[in-house]
Structure 1
Amino acid sequence: MLDTHARKYINPSIDKTAHWLVKHGHTPNQVTVIALLIGLMTSVLYILGYPLLSVIFLWASGFLDAVDGSMARHTKTSPFGTVMDITFDRLVEIGMIVAIAYVYPELLWPLLLLSVSIIFSMTIFLVVGAVSEQAGIKSFYYQAGLAERTEGFVLFSVMLLFPGILFWTTLLFFAVETFTGVQRFIEARRLLHKGAGTE
């Protein structure tokens, strides 16, 4: 939701950074890899006992993740770059969940539920993107939803910074992701039926 409706407010800084990096000879894929490495450091720092620094690295990774997309739009898009981007995003999320489970093993079950909800929501997102191309709707249909990447970062930040409410924050995250998955599933039915002319 925030990615869709609030992006315009931070786009100037994203585009400015993207232009600077392109001007200095960097490629979108290079920035994608750097974003992954910084994002994985989030988990390492959390395990080492630096939650605030971990959150800073998390948001730096997210910023670069947006920058690489802007760079791609201003240069030449790469299909493999898209694969890298989506895959690396999931690796950063998995890393954080594993790190939290390592520090708080008693919360393994809520974190497992959160992982399942992310898999559910992202599966629908990716399948709709692929199927909509076949249906002639768009090259890759982006499904907005209640929980997009920014909402995930906000909730992960709360989880990392406030261990006292970690159990409830994890369940909230699970509920939001599950709702988003259902939301996307319902939209997919409407969209693909319309694309097939079977409304």
Structure 2
Amino acid sequence: MLDRWTTRLIAPPLRLLAKTLKARGITPDQVTFAGFLIGLLSVPLLAFQLYELALVAILCNRIFDGIDGALARLGTPSDAGGYLDITLDFIFYSAVVFGFALADPTANALIACLLVFTFMGTGSSFLAYAIMAEKKKLSDPDFSHKSFYYMNGLAEGTETIAIFVLFCLFPEYFPELAMLFAAICILTTATRVWGGYQTIKKAERTATVTE
């Protein structure tokens, strides 16, 4: 929901960093891999309840995620790079939740399972629609820089990172915060499935009429 505004705010500094990396011969895929590996460090850090250090790893991952896209747009973005980026993003998101389950299995494990379950809903509705949108040649002007069609929802990248920050700052409230975000993810999935279905049906009807 907030991505369209946060993207515009962070784009200029990310572009400057990307230009510096490009001048040194760094590729977008290298940044993607590095960011993913740094992000995975959050799992053992969370397991040992080192929440501040885990937060640093999470934020570094998100910064790298922004830089790789900016770096790709300085040249010709590749579909392979976009595929790698979005796939590793979803793995990272679930890994962070898994880390909190390891931190306190008794209090966190069940709600962490619920949250990963809802992530499957937001992720699958996003990716399945992306496939159909490409097939039907649909487009989204608000996110024209994305490698995949970006379908809006209440739970997007900005909201996910915000909740991860809250998890790390207030780990004792993880169950309550995770329950709240799980509800938001369920609502996002429901609206995406319904909206996506209606949009694709409309595209199919339009195509039938014009044939």
CA distance in 2, matches of 1:67, 1:29: 11
2:22 and 2:44 map into 1 onto residues whose CA distance is 30
Return the offset for 1:77.
1.7
Letter in 1 for 2:28: P
| 8 Å Cα contact 1:4-1:144 kept in structure 2 | no
Aligned length in residues: 199
Q: Which residue of 2 aligns with 1:156?
A: 164
Asked if 1:123 corresponds to 2:101, the answer is no
TM superposition shift of 1:49: 3.0
Asked if the contact 1:47/1:99 (under 8 Å) is kept, the reply is: yes
Output aligned runs, 1:84-163, within 5 Å: 84-106=84-106, 107-138=108-139, 140-163=148-171
For residue 187 of structure 2, what is the aligned residue in structure 1? 179
TM-score (norm 2): 0.88
State the 1:33 CA deviation.
0.3
Q: Which runs of 5+ in 2 are unaligned?
A: 140-146
**Contact 1:17/1:67 (<8 A) preserved:** yes
Q: Is the 8 A contact 1:31 1:64 kept in 2?
A: yes
2-structure distance, mates of 1:85, 1:6 = 19
Percent of aligned pairs sharing the same letter: 29
Within 2, Cα distance between the matches of 1:141 and 1:124?
12
Kindly state the Cα deviation for residue 183 of structure 1 after the two structures are TM-superposed. 1.7
The corresponding residue for 1:67 is: 67
Letter in 1 for 2:17: T
User: TM-score when scaled to structure 1?
Assistant: 0.93
CA apart distance, 1:140? 3.6
Gap change, CA 1:195 and 1:95, over 3 Å in 2: same
Structure 1 regions of 5+ residues with no counterpart? none
The CA RMSD measured in Å over matched residues stands at 1.7
* Between 4-13 and 137-146, the greater mean CA deviation after superposition: 137-146
Query: After superposition, what is the alpha-carbon deviation per residue over 1:149-179, rounded to whole angstroms, capped at 9, x for unaligned?
Result: 1211111121122122111101011011111
